[in-house]
Amino acid sequence: MSDTPVRDAPAQSRASAKKELPEHFRDYKHVWVFIEQERGEVHPVSWELLGAGRKLADKLGVELAGVVLGGPGEATQHAVSEAFRYGADLAYLVEDPILADYRNEPYSKALTQLVNTHKPEILLLGATTLGRDLAGSVATTLLTGLTADCTELAVDADGSLAATRPTFGGSLLCTIYTLNYRPQMATVRPRQMPMPARQEDRTGRIVSFKAELDEESIVTKILRFIPDRDSAKSNLAFADVVVAGGLGLQSAENFQLVKGLASVLGAEFGGSRPLVQKGWIGSDRQIGQTGKTIRPKLYIAAGISGAIQHRVGVEGADMIVAINTDKNAPIFDFAHVGIVTDAIRLLPALTEAFRRRLSPHGRDRLAG
């Protein structure tokens, strides 16, 4: 996986599978990104996808659109303005009080109607809880293909979307095409793609769309909104500095050394999957293919072997420092700095050294 996950795909592989695109799909054009917003908060994966979508749209020579669904009001309008700043040329805006809070049925209906009317060739969504729920039902309703949890997106020589994702438990990558249906749909996990630059003065066209929605026919009702107090606890995916531990730490007590270093660095802590299975850390702290994808400026991995399922979650880090007793550990194949030593001895020394050197002000600088 490269730093720029949107790339030119090899065109040779699937000539035999390709049929002529049916006539009624030929006018499907442009790249769309679903802008996920809840209660006025846009999920940052939407901006990451606009960055990826921009490259696809430029390659295809088409426009990039943000799709904003929500209740009428300032928050929804703000999401539209932000979509322009992160690269959208236009925004499809579907405002309706029924869309104020996410529910699968009205969102699926509205998005499906929008697709059938304005016909995008590519539709991207974040692989979040909401995005996964919505993408699956929209793809099923439209009878088109959906590639979930992509790690790379590319445009083939003939203009098809090449959507790459891990397979066989993460040991292989496969590239999936939706050759004969439209739109070509894909979801991408947060932090998989780099965040594009925000351009303050950028603006674009708004296309308003009135979806045919009827509250009476929707079986799911919002009775009350109770925020999940735990959901904001771990900021792992968006942290600038992450310290993580693996089975090499040998015990839950030794894992506290990871937390100690993280605390001194003002960092988030995490770990490999076996640590979740052992109950040393919560599942929201797992890093990797079936956990969080991270893109910190600094990632310190202590006692982690660097299995492919862990690697895919950390490769976007600017600087990976690995501490491992085995000089042949796979993590040294992709770490920028490798330290061959006992992490249980090194971590307290590192923590102490950083504690002495970093004032609280210096800590801010490290994370900033």
Ligand X SMILES: Cc1cc2nc3c(=O)[nH]c(=O)nc-3n(C[C@H](O)[C@H](O)[C@H](O)COP(=O)(O)OP(=O)(O)OC[C@H]3O[C@@H](n4cnc5c(N)ncnc54)[C@H](O)[C@@H]3O)c2cc1C
Options 42, 307, 320, 350; binder of ligand X; rule CB under 6 A: 307
Q: Please, which residue, 140 or 251, has the CB nearer to ligand X?
A: 251
Take residue 158 and report the two structure tokens written for it. 């003939």
Q: Please, which residue, 64 or 350, has the CB nearer to ligand X?
A: 350
- Using CB under 6 A as the criterion, what x/- string covers residues 113-152 for binding ligand X? ----------------------------------------
Number of residues that bind ligand X (CB under 6 A): 29
Options 108, 310, 350, 363; binder of ligand X; rule CB under 6 A: 310
Cα–Cα distance measured from residue 88 to residue 83, given in angstroms and rounded to the nearest whole number:
6
Options 87, 120, 196, 291; binder of ligand X; rule CB under 6 A: 291
Determine, following the binding rule CB under 6 A, whether residue 257 of this chain makes contact with ligand X.
no
Asked whether 266 and 363 are in contact (CB, 8 A), the reply is yes
Phi, psi of 260 (to 5 degrees): -65, -45
Q: Please, which residue, 194 or 274, has the CB nearer to ligand X?
A: 274
Q: Provide the minimum distance between the beta carbon of 95 and ligand X in the complex, in angstroms, as a whole number.
A: 38
Determine, following the binding rule CB under 6 A, whether residue 108 of this chain makes contact with ligand X.
no
Asked whether 40 and 75 are in contact (CB, 8 A), the reply is yes
Cα–Cα distance measured from residue 145 to residue 95, given in angstroms and rounded to the nearest whole number:
27
Name the maximum alpha-carbon separation found in the chain. 69
Q: What angle do CA 65, 66, 68 make, to 5 degrees?
A: 140
Options 53, 87, 303, 316; binder of ligand X; rule CB under 6 A: 303
Determine, following the binding rule CB under 6 A, whether residue 191 of this chain makes contact with ligand X.
no
Q: Provide the minimum distance between the beta carbon of 168 and ligand X in the complex, in angstroms, as a whole number.
A: 9
Q: Provide the minimum distance between the beta carbon of 267 and ligand X in the complex, in angstroms, as a whole number.
A: 18
Reported as type and span, the H/E element at residue 347 is helix 343-357
Q: Provide the minimum distance between the beta carbon of 134 and ligand X in the complex, in angstroms, as a whole number.
A: 24
Options 44, 71, 274, 282; binder of ligand X; rule CB under 6 A: 274
- Extract the runs of DSSP E, i.e. beta strands, from 1-110: 6-8, 31-35, 37-38, 41-42, 64-70, 90-95
- Extract the runs of DSSP E, i.e. beta strands, from 71-113: 90-95
Taking CA atoms, 339 is separated from 53, 92, 315, 342, 343, in Å, by 38, 51, 18, 9, 9
Take residue 121 and report the two structure tokens written for it. 């060739």
Phi, psi of 271 (to 5 degrees): -165, 180
Phi, psi of 304 (to 5 degrees): -115, 130
Q: Which range of residues in 5-13, 59-67, 87-95, 243-251 is near ligand X by CB under 6 A? A: 243-251
- Residues between 321 and 350 with contacts to ligand X, criterion CB under 6 A: 323-326, 329, 342-344
- Residues between 155 and 184 with contacts to ligand X, criterion CB under 6 A: 169-170
Q: Which range of residues in 36-44, 193-201, 224-232, 246-254 is near ligand X by CB under 6 A? A: 246-254
Cα–Cα distance measured from residue 304 to residue 332, given in angstroms and rounded to the nearest whole number:
10
Asked whether 91 and 204 are in contact (CB, 8 A), the reply is yes
Options 62, 247, 358, 366; binder of ligand X; rule CB under 6 A: 247
Determine, following the binding rule CB under 6 A, whether residue 246 of this chain makes contact with ligand X.
yes
Q: Provide the minimum distance between the beta carbon of 165 and ligand X in the complex, in angstroms, as a whole number.
A: 13
- For ligand X, the binding residues (CB under 6 A) are 169-170, 246-248, 272-274, 286-291, 303-305, 307, 309-310, 313, 323-326, 329, 342-344
